[in-house]
Amino acid sequence: MNLRSRLRTVLIWGALVSAVLVPILAAAASPLLQWREPIYIVAGFAGILGMCLMLVQPLLAIGVMPGVPLQTSRKVHRYGGAALVFAVVLHVAGLWVTSPPDVIDVLLFRSPTPFAIWGALAMWAVFGAAMLALLRPRLPLRLWRWGHTALVTLAVVGTIVHAVQIIGAMEPVTKALLSLAVAAALLTAIARRKVWAMGLRARRS
């Protein structure tokens, strides 16, 4: 690896780590945390961590992380999916402990707050995408890709709208930048998959 490639790798990894750590550190410094219960804080940061995982997951799926082989990247992607599901469960469970009636309203889509509805949509989309991942060997590849992509897209859109509408511990500027980064990562993955599919069809024809 030459100097230019090394510098590119360092810059990409530095940008990715910053995109993840800066919003977390900014949220940790929020004065709003002083009035929150510990379980509520844990639940909130589980949600932030889940959003950060949504930034990394598409990049792992298409194998564009510098220095990470494609096979390793996809293996880590599977573990990342499990971690994302765990983060969502921890987020919802923590909120359940602090206010069960509110969580019930959210799960049944009868909450009066729009951000809660978007959060519920994102949650079920994450669970659906994870379920499809488990069923991948039993499904036609094209059907699986369309279904997984649709559910992941819904999860990302729901999460971004959910996060943006909430006035909480996340600092507004870093939250907006993280949201843009998550959306850009998803669009990059979708575009890359489309290019691969077109190339595969061209080689077969």
Q: What is the pLDDT along the chain (205 residues), one digit of tens a residue?
A: 677 778 888 888 999 999 999 999 999 999 989 888 999 999 999 999 999 999 999 999 998 888 889 899 999 999 999 999 999 999 999 999 998 998 999 888 888 888 999 999 999 999 999 999 999 889 898 889 899 999 999 999 999 999 999 988 999 999 999 999 999 999 999 988 764 554 444 444 4
Predicted pLDDT of residue 195: 47
Q: Rounded CA gap, 131 and 91, in Å?
A: 19
Helix 141-165 with 38-61: angle, nearest 10 deg? 140
Predicted pLDDT of residue 38: 92
Task: Kindly report whether the global pTM for this prediction surpasses the value 0.85.
Answer: yes
Predicted pLDDT of residue 36: 87
Q: Rounded CA gap, 54 and 45, in Å?
A: 14
Structural tokens at position 59: 């990049």
Predicted pLDDT of residue 197: 52
Spell out the domain ranges in the chain: 3-198
Say which residues have a Cβ less than 8 Å from residue 199's Cβ, sequence separation at least 6: none
Q: Rounded CA gap, 58 and 187, in Å?
A: 9
Predicted pLDDT of residue 203: 47
* Residue where the block lists tokens 């949509």: 121
Predicted pLDDT of residue 61: 92
Predicted pLDDT of residue 194: 60
Predicted pLDDT of residue 3: 76
Structural tokens at position 4: 């230019």
| CATH no. of 3-198 | 1.20.120
